Every structure is written in structure tokens, then in C-alpha cells.
Amino acid sequence: MILYFFPNLADTERKCCYLDLVYDVDGSSSVRQNNWDNSILVFLNDTISNMAECKVGPRHLNVGVVKFSTNSAIEFYPKDYLDEASVLSAISNMTWPMGSTNLADSFLTIENDIKYLVNNGFDSANERDDLKHEDVVVVVTDGQPISVTDATTRANALRAKGVRVLIVAVLLPTVSMTDLLQVSNDASVLVCVPFGYI
């Protein structure tokens, strides 16, 4: 299902199917509890379970999750869970943090932990040194970043480390397409969906 939003990932899935994937999930107050439970968590569940050829496992797909609101925190690292059922169970137990939309802080959290992720997901060469793979962050947000400049700077720092940053934005009146396009740096990695779609 994630390929429905980002068809340019299809080639990766079909040819090598080795992804280290971190969801960067907006848990700000605008999301609200009902949408967190019935839209955000369902979206994560569906995109993971509907990867056609790429299933969770150490030689295929490693999944991690970062939550952000006023602050950010890693919910779980890639390779904490090595099968789909465990990942989906962990997602179902995620709580809604509430707060502002500090996207920059979530990027910084991922960037600061990149050395840990080298051994726990990103660039896990100890298991897959002979296999081509991609490191991907998928941002899911419904809010305006509190600092577009900081979010853009931090997103660019991740890209400089070879991490692809993709954005799924739920369109609300408070969300600026221009600002999110600045953060994404490339229209092909920014997908905007109507409110209530996910």
C-alpha cells in the first residue's frame, strides 16, 4: 500500500525488496485520539501488511517508528521486531502523545540515533552486506511544522546521510503545501491526501 503513495519505491521492492523503513508519525493535538486510533495506526498497519513482495524480516523489511509532537521519541527501532505480527502488535499499543508539530525534532532524533540505527536497522551490513537496500523515512503528518526552516535543515541532513525522506500529508486548512514542499525538497516524495482518507 505504501507503493500506492510512492510508486517510485516499486522498483526497490521488486528488484531487491530490502528496506530499512522508519515511520515518523505526527502525534500532535490536531490529530485527536479518534484519528490516532482509527486513521494513523490503521494506516501504519495497512501499509506494512500490504507490502506485496516485501515482508518484515531481517533479510527483507526492518520497521521502526518515531512519534513526534512537542518532543519526539523512538517508539521502537528497526530490528526490535523481526516479524510482521510483532511489528503490528507494537503499533497497536502506541499511545497518542499530543502537543505541537515539532517535525524538526523528530528528524533530529533520527539523525542523532543514526549510529545506533547502523547496528539496529539502517545499513545493517552485518546481515545484508551482499544485498542492495534502501533507508527510508516516511513522515505521516496532518499539521504545519512549528519551524519549516528547521524541519527542512534536518530533513536535508538525513538526505545527506543517504536516507530517503517521504512525506504523507493530510490536507487541513492549516497545512501549507508550499512549506511541506520546501521540507520535502522534491514534489515526487510529497503526497497530500484529503482529511479522513487515511
Amino acid letter, residue 109? T
Nearest to 58 by CA among 91, 80, 76, 74: 80
* Size of the chain, expressed as the number of residues it contains: 198
d(CA 30, CA 55): 32
User: What average pLDDT does this structure show over 98-115?
Assistant: 88
What confidence tier does 6 reach under pLDDT thresholds 50, 70, 90?
low
CA distances to 39, 62, 151 from 50, rounded to whole Å, are 16, 15, 29
Write the pLDDT tens digit of every residue in 34-91.
889 888 899 899 888 887 567 788 777 889 999 999 999 999 988 889 899 999 999 9
What confidence tier does 108 reach under pLDDT thresholds 50, 70, 90?
very high
SS3 102: coil
**How wide is the angle at C-alpha 53 spanned by C-alphas 50 and 161, nearest 5°?**
90
Q: What is the pTM of this model?
A: 0.84
pLDDT at 126: 46
In the CATH scheme, what is the homologous superfamily, with its name and number, of domain 25-166+182-194? Answer: von Willebrand factor, type A domain (3.40.50.410)
For 13-17, 60-64, 109-113, which range has the lowest pLDDT when averaged over its residues?
13-17
d(CA 157, CA 42): 30
Write the pLDDT tens digit of every residue in 121-145.
555 444 544 556 688 899 998 878 9
Where along the chain do its domains lie?
A: 25-166+182-194
- Exposed/middle/buried for residue 91 (C-beta within 10 Å: 0-12, 13-18, 19+): buried
